[in-house]
């Protein structure tokens, strides 16, 4: 008995895993949570989701909010595109339009210590100045000989610096509006600027991924060449330079001077922008070659990365995003980097190289610009609907997380939902059978309040989870797991095939065949060739002229699949024509796991058979729940008998050998003779066509006087070969 118990235990341990083992859906990694919707929640890189900051949507102002800045009195300024206006948000938190331009977009804003705001516009190279208390809201401050102005920054002497394209130049503008070329880079676009605490100017290129330090007029060094293509945003904090870079989809070719000269392309873009946005035509001349900028915003960007450069020159990578690109960097009062992203409309906070926080996941596709007031993130401007958001200084009281719709693939019975975290987190579920929730879905269930609870939503294919987190309860959700069991799916056998498929050989013409036969049999006339049957043999297809070698092994292959991925086993059986009893094909009657089988028909009577393949998922499901499918093959011929060569007779007077060949099942496919032990020569039957199991032939021979041996060989379409030999004498 002990041995029996041991055997039973071993059998249980060796049972294959069951497909109906409970499935589970886990949401625990940051990427899992990001696929859902976060409302008033913050997602951290290591501790899950928790209550976040509230926002107030101020409204839609344009197609895009391009830029922002904050003056010393706490006023938030932002510039828009299409139309190109400048707005201000004072202490009352109400936005007001301050200045309206006739351009395409307000691409950059900067404030000086006196509270004046400079606004750069696209695409005429104009910079406007908005002075507090002035009678006119905004006046033209200067106009640069460059159509694109990508960044503005003010130095300690109140001089304004502008980064431009498409000639890659930096301009210095004095407080009275006089502009001078400060540095000419070998790039098409300089897109970012920031001042070092010692007064040196950092600049980032938009084409070659170069970070410059400009130390004086016409003087600069390259500090770093990034693997990425675009140095999009720069900000200095605590002696560290923070660099936001993007990888671009494509770099344009450069000319011999190092710049990308595409004047026609530039003019075409300008005309298109003017037509689309109603901007006036440009008045400047075309003395410089110009081209399309790297991207109007982010259409050319693939991925973004954040770097930190220390004073000693060391460069550290803080974070990276595969499918989002950086539009703007700034820093809050605690020195944490704030990152506005294109792609998903997200805003991140990066405290160090080990952690990041997703602060906002907005409905718009681009978070284009950020403004910090009193040390806190206070404003977000978006693109692809140019909306403005005011950010609350305090955490929201409650936040809500709604997961992505989970597809269980098939009708599913829901089990327990488990979650990990802190505080009380009410979690509800709903389910349905459409990929997008609609009125056919169930209502949200009553909240599950225990960390382990049974899901009450109806059985369905799709399910969604909603969690509510409160600041008062110090709630934090790190992960949740839903257990479920999907309905077993039936296997499917779709096709049964026998043997290898032949590869057709190129066909030969009748003339080629006769010429070949004449070469093999010199001196024979064309009439004799016709009797021998070379031309007649051409009625067979080339691939059938030489049948494959006979074998008793029938190669059987089949195609089968299982929708829910269960491992399948197979059973094969065969049925003789005219019979009604299926016989197992495998000698040991054990199921097969491969989708192929070599059937040895040596002991099977010749005849026509059908093969049946049965697929079962029995080894992946408990007894009573396994499903199966079966398919019958087309009729299969089993023919292992050699053809007979019969009634050989030789007429010495006419040197003609006559006879008959007979095949068991298949047609005769090849007739050959060999004289005196020589090479085999093809000949045709008496009627010239190989199309029957019985074929008569008359073979006229050219013989020298004396005895000869002759062998006749017949091959059927299954490759079976029959040979008969005879002795001839020519007088």
Token representation of residue 112:
């000086």
CA dist., res. 557 & res. 571, Å (int): 12
pLDDT exceeds cutoff 70 at 547? yes
| Cα 217 versus chain centre, distance | 48
The pLDDT of 589-609, averaged and rounded, is 92
Q: Regarding predicted confidence, which is higher, 155 or 542?
A: 155
| 622: confidence class by pLDDT, cuts 50, 70, 90 | confident
Residues 332 and 438 reside in one and the same domain? no
Total tally of structural domains belonging to the chain: 4
Q: Render pLDDT for 263-282 as a digit per residue (tens, 0 to 9).
A: 444 445 445 444 444 433 33
Q: Pick the more confident residue, 234 or 653.
A: 234
In a domain, 86, yes or no: yes
Answer yes or no: do 38 and 171 share one domain.
no
Under a CB-based contact definition with an 8 Å cutoff, are residues 357 and 43 in contact? yes
Over residues 709-728, the mean pLDDT reads 94
In whole angstroms, what is the distance from residue 142 CA to residue 123 CA? 14
Banded pLDDT at 251 (limits 50, 70, 90): low
Do 726 and 628 fall within a single domain?
Answer: no
Q: CATH number of the domain that 385 lies in? A: 2.130.10.10
Kind and range of the H or E element at 304? strand 301-309
Q: Are residues 104 and 222 in the same domain?
A: yes
Contact 349, 44 (CB under 8 A): no
Q: Map tokens 């083992």 to a residue.
A: 21
Task: Please indicate, yes or no, if residue 2 is contained in any of the structural domains.
Answer: no
Per-residue pLDDT at 500:
54
Both 441 and 570 in one domain: the answer is no
Does the pLDDT at position 298 exceed 60? no
291 and 312: one domain?
Answer: yes
Asked whether residue 6 is domain-assigned, the answer is no
pTM of the entire predicted model: 0.71
Report the CATH number at residue 425: 2.60.120
Residue 208 lies in a domain: yes
- pLDDT over threshold 80, residue 617: yes
**Are 175 and 87 in a shared domain?**
yes
**Which of the pair, 596 or 12, is modelled with greater confidence?**
596
**Which DSSP string do the residues of 372-404 spell out, in sequence order?**
EETTEEEEEEEEEEEEEEEEEEEE-SEEEEEPP
| 510 within a domain of the structure (yes/no) | no
In a domain, 12, yes or no: no
Q: Could you tell me which of 337, 333, 334, 462 has the C-alpha nearest to residue 403? A: 462
Residue 505 lies in a domain: no
Q: Average pLDDT, whole number, for the chain?
A: 85
Give the residue from 711, 388, 667, 709 showing the smallest Cα distance to 539.
Answer: 667
Residue 388 in domain: yes
| 690 burial type by CB count under 10 A (0-12 exposed, 13-18 middle, 19+ buried) | buried
Of 395, 427, 455, which closes a domain?
A: 395
Please give the structure tokens belonging to residue 209: 């991924």
Residues 160 and 102 occupy one common structural domain: yes
Count Cβ neighbours within 10 Å for each residue of 470-501 and write b for 16 or more, e otherwise: bbeeebbbbebbbbbbbebbebebeebeeeee
- 103/520 Cα distance (integer angstroms): 90
Summarised one tens digit per residue, pLDDT across range 359-404 is 999 999 999 999 999 999 999 999 989 999 999 989 999 999 999 9
Q: Are 262 and 252 in contact (CB under 8 A)?
A: yes
Residues 178 and 299 in one domain: yes
Residue with tokens 């101020």: 58
Residue 219 has pLDDT above 80, yes or no: yes
In a shared domain, residues 556 and 672: no
Alpha carbon distance 38, 55 (integer Å): 13
Give the domain CATH number at 653.
2.60.40.10
Q: What pLDDT sits at residue 692?
A: 93
Q: Point out the domain boundary residue: 395, 423, 442.
A: 395
Comparing 294 with 66, the larger pLDDT belongs to: 66
- Angstrom distance (rounded) from CA 230 to CA 221: 17
Q: Which domain holds residue 708?
A: 520-547+640-730
Average pLDDT over residues 558-571: 92
Residues 130 and 273 in one domain: yes
Residue 562's φ and ψ, nearest 5 degrees, are -135, 125
Last residue of a domain, one of 584, 608, 638: 638
Same domain flag for 536 and 652:
yes
């Amino acid at each position: 008995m002990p041995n029996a118990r041991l055997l039973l235990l071993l059998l249980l341990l060796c049972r294959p895993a069951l497909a109906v083992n409970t499935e589970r859906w886990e949401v625990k990694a940051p990427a899992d949570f990001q696929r859902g919707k976060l409302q008033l929640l913050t997602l951290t890189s290591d501790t899950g989701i928790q209550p976040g900051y509230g926002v107030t949507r101020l409204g839609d102002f344009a197609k895009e909010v391009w830029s922002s800045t904050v003056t010393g009195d706490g006023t938030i300024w932002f510039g828009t595109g299409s139309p190109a206006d400048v707005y201000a948000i004072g202490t009352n938190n109400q936005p007001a339009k301050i200045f309206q331009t006739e351009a395409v977009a307000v691409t950059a804003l900067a404030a000086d210590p006196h509270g004046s705001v400079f606004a750069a516009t696209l695409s005429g190279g104009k910079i406007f100045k908005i002075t507090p208390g002035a009678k006119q809201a905004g006046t033209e401050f200067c106009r640069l000989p460059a159509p694109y102005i990508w960044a503005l920054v003010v130095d300690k002497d109140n001089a304004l610096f502008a980064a431009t394209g498409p000639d890659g130049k930096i301009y210095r503008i004095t407080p009275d509006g006089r502009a001078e070329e400060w540095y000419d880079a070998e790039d098409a676009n300089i897109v970012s600027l920031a001042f070092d605490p010692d007064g040196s100017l950092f600049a980032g290129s938009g084409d070659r991924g170069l970070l410059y330090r400009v130390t004086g007029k016409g003087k600069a060094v390259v500090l770093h060449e990034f693997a990425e293509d675009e140095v999009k945003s720069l900000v200095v904090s605590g002696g560290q330079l923070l660099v936001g870079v993007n990888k671009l989809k494509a770099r344009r070719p450069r000319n011999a001077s190092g710049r990308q000269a595409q004047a026609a392309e530039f003019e075409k873009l300008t005309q298109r922008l003017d037509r689309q946005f109603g901007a006036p035509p440009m008045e400047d001349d075309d003395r410089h070659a110009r081209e399309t900028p790297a991207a109007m915003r982010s259409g050319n960007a693939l991925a973004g990365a954040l770097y930190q450069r220390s004073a000693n020159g060391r460069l550290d990578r803080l974070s990276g995003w595969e499918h989002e690109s950086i539009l703007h960097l700034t820093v809050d009062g605690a020195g944490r980097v704030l990152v506005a992203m294109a792609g998903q409309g997200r805003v991140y906070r990066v405290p160090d190289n080990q952690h990041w926080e997703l602060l906002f996941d907005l409905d718009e596709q681009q978070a284009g610009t950020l403004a910090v007031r009193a040390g806190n993130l206070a404003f977000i401007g978006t693109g692809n609907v140019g909306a403005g958001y005011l950010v609350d200084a305090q955490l929201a009281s409650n936040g809500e997380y709604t997961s992505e719709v989970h597809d269980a693939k098939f009708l599913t019975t829901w089990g327990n939902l488990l979650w990990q975290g802190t505080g009380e987190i009410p979690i509800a579920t709903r389910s349905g059978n459409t990929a997008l929730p609609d009125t056919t879905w169930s209502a949200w269930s009553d909240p599950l309040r225990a960390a382990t609870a049974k899901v009450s939503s109806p059985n369905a294919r799709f399910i969604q989870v909603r969690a509510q987190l409160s600041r008062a309860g110090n709630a934090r959700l790190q992960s949740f797991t839903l257990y479920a069991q999907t309905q077993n799916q039936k296997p499917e056998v779709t096709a049964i095939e026998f043997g290898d498929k032949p590869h057709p050989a190129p066909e030969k013409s009748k003339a080629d065949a006769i010429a070949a036969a004449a070469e093999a049999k010199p001196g024979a006339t064309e009439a004799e060739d016709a009797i021998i049957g070379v031309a007649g043999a051409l009625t067979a297809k080339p691939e059938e002229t030489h049948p494959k070698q006979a074998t008793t092994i029938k190669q059987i292959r089949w195609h089968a699949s299982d929708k829910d991925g269960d491992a399948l086993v197979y059973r094969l059986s065969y049925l003789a024509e005219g019979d009604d009893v299926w016989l197992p094909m495998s000698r040991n009657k054990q199921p097969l796991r491969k989708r192929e089988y070599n059937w040895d028909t040596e002991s099977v009577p010749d005849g026509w058979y059908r093969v049946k393949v049965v697929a079962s998922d029995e080894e992946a499901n408990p007894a009573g729940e396994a499903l199966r499918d079966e398919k019958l093959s087309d009729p299969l011929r089993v023919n292992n008998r050699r053809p007979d060569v019969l009634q050989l007779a030789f007429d010495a007077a006419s040197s003609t050998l006559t006879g008959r060949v007979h095949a068991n099942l298949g047609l005769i496919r090849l007739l050959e003779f060999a004289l005196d032990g020589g090479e085999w020569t093809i000949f045709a039957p008496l009627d010239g066509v190989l199309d029957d199991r019985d074929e008569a032939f008359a073979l006229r021979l050219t013989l020298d006087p004396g005895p000869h041996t002759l062998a006749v060989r017949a091959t059927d379409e299954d490759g079976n070969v029959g040979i008969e030999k005879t002795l001839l004498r020519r007088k």
